[in-house]
Amino acid sequence: MPGNVSSGDKLTYAIIGIIIIASILAFWDFAGVIIIAGSFTIFLLPAHRYLCRYMRGGFSSAILTTAVAVGIVGAMYVAAIVLYDNLDYLMSLINSILEWFNNELFSGGSVYGEKVNPLPWISDFFQSSLDEMRNYLLGLLVMAPMLAIKIMILFLSIFLFLLFGEKMYTEIEGILPEDSSDTVVIMRNSVVDMLYALFNVHIAVALAVFFVAFPVFYILGYGHIMFYAVLSGILALIPIFGPVVLIAFLILYAVSVSDWYGLLIILAIAWPLLCAIPDWWMRPVLMGKRASINPVLMFIAFFGGIAVMGILGFIMGPVFIALLIGCYRILLHKFGDGNGDGRDVRSDL
């Protein structure tokens, strides 16, 4: 890049900058969709490169995009139907636990001479929460037109990113100054590692937990096996504390109904297969050295992203955490050792 920029070039850069900013503001409502599409693209690129050996890039992009669309829509539809159909069953389990708490922990208790009975207001709290969930799901129907447009843009963006994204990245990287190439590599590796952990590892673990849950809950004998399998798979997407929530809930339920055989099955079979092995063995082995990301950071990324950005935060939260980690590693690279040898800098993050 020349050291002196002519007035004509300055005007060109200004116009380009204005157009880019105006475009971002105009399509800001779809920014999350574009980021998610880019995340899926990075995950699908190895498969795209493999398929391009045997067919044209357009066919490969179309096949992968269609596969992703069918997989996502099918999984979300099945999960929503199963969870919605079992809300009353879930409420009955909660009521059983609350009655046990009331009878065992609060029987005979009194405040200012009156017996304490927290069951009604606790039960009302859970019932109102379930009602709000129902209303939220029904509210999605009102947003169906905009949701359909965003879904269409998501899959079209995945198709275009697969087809042209790698070439665009190479062209942009080629015009960057050489002294900034190390920074770009560090940031790229940080984001790719996070997305690798998000898709390859956590989705693989969730699928494994989903299929293992069928025989586990068949042995447990509580029925509603599909409900428990879907719930186990969804919670397995959340590292550290995800499946533990379900196991703790089942332990409370087994104790509340004095099902000691069920409690033994939960502790001896369900907890190791659905919690311990996936979190303590599968995730570290699958992530390996490539995605050395602290699981606590992944937990913060999931819940922080969902709390701030809704369901889109499930992907965008980890992406932003990856960018912050990349900035930290760039600072270490630039100012930590001072040798400027261009090597990739890893931290305990």
User: Is 222 within a domain?
Assistant: yes
Helices and strands, counts by H and E, the chain: 17, 2
Distance CA 7, CA 11 (A): 6
Question: Do 312 and 36 meet the contact criterion of CB atoms below 8 Å apart?
Answer: yes
Residue 72 lies in a domain: no
Number of domains within the chain: 1
Range(s) of the domain holding residue 296:
177-349
Supply φ then ψ for residue 221, to 5 degrees.
80, 20
Dist CA 160 CA 65 (whole Å): 10
Question: Does residue 41 belong to any structural domain of this protein?
Answer: no
φ, ψ at 296 (rounded to 5°)? -65, -40
Q: How far apart are CA 112 and CA 142, in angstroms?
A: 49
Q: How far is CA 39 from CA 33, 249, 320, in A?
A: 10, 34, 12
Report if residue 195 sits inside a domain: yes
Residue closest to 209 by CA, chosen among 179, 190, 236: 236
pLDDT tens for the chain, 349 residues: list them: 445 556 667 788 888 889 989 988 888 888 878 888 888 888 888 899 999 999 998 999 999 999 999 988 888 888 889 888 888 888 888 888 878 877 766 554 444 445 555 555 555 655 666 666 666 666 666 677 777 888 889 999 999 999 998 888 888 877 877 777 778 888 888 888 777 777 777 788 888 999 999 999 999 988 899 999 999 988 888 776 777 888 999 998 998 888 899 999 999 999 999 988 887 778 767 765 555 666 677 777 777 887 787 767 777 788 888 888 888 888 887 776 545 444 444 555 6
**Domain contains 196:** yes
In a domain, 348, yes or no: yes
Confirm whether 22 is domain-assigned. Answer: no
Picking from 224, 214, 212, the residue whose alpha carbon sits closest to that of residue 91 is 224
Does residue 224 fall inside a structural domain? yes
